[in-house]
Every structure is written in C-alpha cells, then in structure tokens.
Amino acid sequence: MKQEKPSLLIIGNSNVGKSSITRLLLPNPRKFKGKIGKTPGSTLLIKSITQIKLPYEIIDLPGFGHLGHSSRRRGEHLKKQIVIHVEKNHQKYFFGLVVINVLRIEDEINKYVIQNKKTIPLSIELIQFLREFDIPLLIILNKIDKISNFDRKRIINLLVKNLKDFGLNLV
C-alpha cells in the first residue's frame, strides 16, 4: 500500500513567482512541467508535484487576483476552487509558503492605511485564511533582488509594523 506524502502548500497572488519557487524546491527541476510566465494567470490548475527523491508533495496553486488574459468570472471561479481545495485538504499540509511580490506589497499596505483600513490587502487575506487552519506559514518576499537595500529595509519594516494590525506576528 502506497503511503501518502505530506504536502507543502505554495500560495500567493497572481504573478508573484510561485512556480519559480516550486522549481527551486525540486531535486530535479527539469522534470517540472509547470508554466512560468511573465503575465498573470500562467498557472490555471491546482498542481500536485511529486518526485521520487522528494519526501513530500508540493501543491502549486494558481494565483489569487488579476489573471491577465482571463475573465473576471474565471478569476472568481479559480478563487473559489482554491478556497474549497484548502478547506478540504488543510490537514495534509505540514507547511505553507505564502509568496508575496515585494514590488507590490507596499502599495497594497499603503492603500489599506489610506482607505482607513477598510480593504484588506489580498496577500494579508490569504495569510489570515490559512491561519484559520493552523497551517504553519513562511512568508516569502519574492523579487526582492529587484529593489535597493534601502527599499528592502523600508518595505520589511512597513510589513512588520502593519502585520500586527491583522493579528499577525513575524518571528
């Protein structure tokens, strides 16, 4: 009888680099058939990735939010699929990686603060959703190599300061 492997969840907004990170985690990245694109919505299916030398399976989810060439209705359908998938399978996840685009998170947080804290940024909403299931999380600030050291420190401080407003702490 084949034993089921524990699952690592990779989740984030559209076009933040989830599939690129998935590829980095694989012992044999050339076997990864995931599409990595420059436009939002390259990953449209929930992918379960297993390799012989990998002691767990990786679940690469499509992105939340804007899907580039896809319709709004398709985006809503995809979001619903992701929520249902996590609700059904949360007990399988030993860990979750929440990928955030460092180039966009500052705008998301500033918009939240300017709007008197009415619209929660999608990235933060994802984190809160996963925390409901007690899935241990690691937040990955992707594309950080595209900004200066000064901006990096400033954005990380902004993120740490504002995560407390959402009941989240960074350790």
For the chain, the domains span 7-106+122-147
How far is 147 from 155, CA to CA, in rounded Å?
10
Question: Global pTM?
Answer: 0.80
* pLDDT over 90 at 29, yes or no: no
Tokens of 116: 């008197």
pLDDT in tens, 100-147: 888 888 888 887 777 777 777 788 888 888 989 999 988 888 889 999
The pLDDT assigned to 40 comes to: 47
CATH number for domain 7-106+122-147, candidates 3.40.190.10, 3.30.70.1290, 3.40.50.300, 3.60.15.10: 3.40.50.300
β-sheet bridge partners, residue 58 = 8, 49
pLDDT for 44 equals: 61
Largest CA distance in the chain: 56
Per-residue pLDDT reduced to its tens digit, 148-159: 999 999 988 888
Q: What sections of the chain are H helices per DSSP?
A: 18-25, 72-89, 102-114, 122-131, 149-163
- CA dist 31 and 33 (Å) reads 6
